[in-house]
């Protein structure tokens, strides 16, 4: 257990420690990668963070986390992004862990949370289906209770990094006789069993990142039900709240902004006052997202509930990130449309893949169109 009281430090003190940690502990070969790496690539970095107690910054200390308050967590994210540290297998860290802490039993927390820290369990998320994406409540993957086990049949899609996961948390239909939101349960499944097949497919950047996951009489103990039977929609809303807040994290925008600033310097765009004006505008947008994100993380840290603010932040952050990427492509001029690493001065950048990958971020966690509908009804009281 990490016994350091990080929140007792000043922000400046913690920033210096975080900067030193990310500079020295993250392998240089993994910094500023243009795309999501595979588990074999980031295992060393995951293990480094876990052994140092830096893997789960927002989890309570009692569950092995750093217990960072909002301001310290923002510093953590900023320093990680400044150093270009890669994304690891983080569905267990960012989504499942907080859900188990909030909604799981103590037995589930004691069993699963340490295995996330040790990387014994690598998790993926089984939510979307071929006909249940933004309308997630229309999902058809079903589970029936047989004795002390659930038997699961169906298909999930857009399951990021499922090819490297060995566990999946999934929404399944357990009652077809009630309205669609009421008959859903939240289950945890071991993927290393007969009846679960993972099939990766390429995104428009030509990279395998998402997968289809097929369940054919897959089984999981009834004790792997999180929350109550048929109450999975409420568990899912809690997780989607976390996911939308994470989707609204300044992390990606800060990474894109760092790349844009480097590109502008290397291409001489900082001598163009029109470009500098646009760069200043997107910089302020990223700083604004940072401020709102800090406030929402503060609400979560004190046990508060995130409501419609998460939809607003998710829209704002993902669309801002795309604008930063677009301006970066403009700064690269004719090289902006080339795939792969392109030399600029003494540096190399892969610009096209991150630009293409960012198109999907407005869909993850519930599309931005759906989020606007939520805000229209929930804030403006407009009719459906």
Angle (deg, nearest 10), helices 273-301 and 250-266: 160
C-alpha span between 225 and 287 (Å, rounded)? 40
Per-residue buried b or exposed e for 12-38, using 16+ beta carbons within 10 Å of the residue's own CB: eebbeebbebbeebbeeebebbbbbbe
Q: Which residues contact 326 (CB under 8 A, 6 or more apart)?
A: 355
| Cα 172 to chain centroid, rounded | 21
Per the residue annotation, which of 129, 243, 319, 330 is the catalytic one?
243
Tokens of 228: 């109550």
Q: Which of 189, 207, 206 is nearest to 153 (CA)?
A: 189
Tokens 């046990």 correspond to what residue?
303
Per-residue buried b or exposed e for 209-230, using 16+ beta carbons within 10 Å of the residue's own CB: bbbbbbbeebbbeeebbbbebb
C-alpha span between 223 and 105 (Å, rounded)? 9
Q: What's the half-sphere exposure (Cβ side, CA atoms, 13 Å) at 338?
A: 12
Backbone phi, then psi, for 117, in 5-degree steps? -60, -40
243 carries an active-site annotation: yes
Backbone phi, then psi, for 12, in 5-degree steps? -65, -40
C-alpha span between 365 and 127 (Å, rounded)? 10
Contact 174, 144 (CB under 8 A): yes
Alpha helices (H) in the chain, listed in sequence order:
11-25, 39-52, 70-83, 91, 97-103, 106-118, 232-247, 250-266, 273-301, 309-332, 352-357, 368-378
Tokens of 128: 């979307």
User: Which sequence positions are flagged as catalytic?
Assistant: 243
């Amino acid at each position: 257990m990490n016994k350091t009281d990080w929140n007792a430090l000043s922000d400046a003190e913690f920033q210096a420690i975080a900067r030193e940690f990310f500079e020295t502990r993250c392998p240089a070969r993994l910094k500023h990668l243009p795309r999501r790496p595979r588990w074999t690539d980031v295992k060393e970095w995951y293990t480094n963070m876990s052994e140092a107690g830096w893997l789960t910054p927002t989890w309570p200390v009692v569950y092995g986390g750093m217990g960072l308050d909002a301001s310290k967590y923002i510093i953590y994210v900023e320093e990680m992004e400044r150093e270009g540290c890669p994304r690891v297998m983080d569905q267990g860290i960012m989504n499942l862990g907080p859900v188990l802490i909030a909604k799981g039993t103590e037995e589930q927390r004691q069993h699963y949370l340490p295995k996330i820290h040790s990387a014994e369990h690598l998790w993926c998320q089984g939510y979307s289906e071929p006909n249940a994406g933004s309308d997630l409540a229309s999902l058809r993957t079903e589970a029936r209770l047989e004795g002390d086990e659930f038997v699961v049949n169906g298909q999930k899609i857009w399951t990021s990094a499922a090819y490297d996961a060995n566990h999946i948390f999934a929404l399944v239909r357990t009652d077809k006789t009630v309205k669609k939101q009421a008959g859903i349960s939240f289950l945890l499944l071991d993927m290393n069993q007969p009846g679960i097949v993972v099939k990766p497919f390429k995104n428009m950047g030509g990279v395998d990142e998402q997968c289809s996951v097929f369940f054919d009489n897959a089984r999981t103990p009834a004790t792997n039900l999180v929350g109550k039977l048929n109450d999975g929609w409420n568990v899912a809303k809690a997780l989607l709240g976390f996911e939308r807040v994470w989707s609204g994290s300044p992390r990606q925008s800060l990474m894109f902004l760092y790349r844009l600033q480097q590109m502008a310097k290397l291409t001489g765009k900082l001598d163009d006052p029109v470009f500098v004006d646009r760069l200043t505008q997107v910089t302020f947008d990223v700083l604004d997202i940072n401020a709102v994100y800090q406030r929402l993380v503060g609400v979560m840290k004190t046990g508060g509930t995130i409501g419609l603010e998460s939809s607003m932040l998710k829209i704002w952050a993902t669309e801002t990130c795309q604008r930063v990427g677009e301006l970066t492509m403009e700064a690269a001029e004719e090289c902006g449309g080339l795939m792969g690493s392109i030399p600029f001065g003494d540096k190399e950048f892969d610009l096209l893949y991150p630009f293409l990958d960012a198109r999907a971020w407005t869909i993850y966690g519930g599309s931005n169109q759906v989020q606007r509908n939520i805000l229209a009804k929930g804030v403006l009281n407009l009719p459906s």
